[in-house]
Homo-oligomer: A and B are copies of this chain.
């Protein structure tokens, strides 16, 4: 009988599963990644990736929690286990699809399912917190594979935002000795990560530029009800004309001018914000396609502004890699391409990991760092008072 966790610390190459579900709660992203031996600049090879939808009832219960519906401690305890079961099922499915024996996987890095995120706010409540369901102890039991999870709470305990964590993975996997790079993740909000040429970890700059898809999706679902849940390819936006008066008003938001580090979420750019925009669009008598064109332009313009104002002065940037659901919105991508003429825009896929798998791979990598006992968070990015080894580790059956 060997010590499963300690044995891993002596390995150099790893076969790792990354499990992730984001705030959209579509399902569990599961990736199998091979990390090579190079410690300073690990290389990741994606062997398999699937997204396994949540059972409808579970998704509905989790969505209720996220919007603040009443619950009980017991319901949380049960959902905690249900999420672990769903994550474990996704793990077995990605193994099966890739023809990999689950027992060959060295460990799992699992983000869990965020159902509450209340990071510290200046002048806010004295206590902050975050809650990811799907405890590593249950996943390790169900899969018999050592599991690292619950990454965010330690950062919040140290006064950080518990986010973003991906820039630490970007630093390890995606920095270049040849040129400055931006990783632009267009998810619900848009995150900009700047990796200066040959940077050290404390030179990485990352922040949320503003809305990504969140406002677009919210308005599309109502304005174009019956035509799907998002503006596929950005076609609806492309059919409209940007309202400069509305766009000018929206740009007048203190958030966009605030100096990083800064992070945003539902509080800033959630449904309430979207409905204020729609209300103003109605006053202006805008056709629905024009409203959508305008908020799509808002995403593009605030990203461009953030890069020009907060990144460009810090150093040379010649490459920008796009990831997140926004890569599928051609109106966004063509807008960025037109406006950021000095940079080469590429899908992040060209670096080896497809955009859809990036977050799952990133948490596999953060788990690798945890297993190796290395700090895996950038405190200057999260605002925490110190770097730590985030993640708690539950032992699988020893081999």
A81 touches B129 (CB 8 A): yes
- Chain multiplicity (copies): 2
A59-107 with Cβ < 8 A to chain B = 65-66, 68-74, 76-82, 84-85
The distance from the CB of A282 to the nearest CB of chain B, in whole angstroms, is 32
A85 surroundings in chain B (CB, below 8 A): 127
Closest residue of chain B to A62 (Cβ to Cβ) is B73
8 nearest interchain CB pairs?
A3-B373, A6-B9, A77-B129, A77-B131, A141-B157, A73-B116, A392-B392, A141-B154
A84 surroundings in chain B (CB, below 8 A): 153, 157
A-side residues, CB < 8 A to B, are 1-7, 9-10, 65-66, 68-74, 76-82, 84-85, 115-118, 125, 127-131, 135-138, 140-142, 149-151, 153-158, 370, 372-374, 388-395, 397-398
B131 touches A158 (CB 8 A): no
Closest residue of chain B to A385 (Cβ to Cβ) is B141
Cross-interface CB contact of A394 among B130, B138, B154, B374, cutoff 8 Å: B154
A81 surroundings in chain B (CB, below 8 A): 127-129, 153, 156-157
Interface of A is mostly: mixed
A3 surroundings in chain B (CB, below 8 A): 9, 372-374
B116 touches A135 (CB 8 A): no
B137 touches A82 (CB 8 A): no
B118 touches A135 (CB 8 A): no
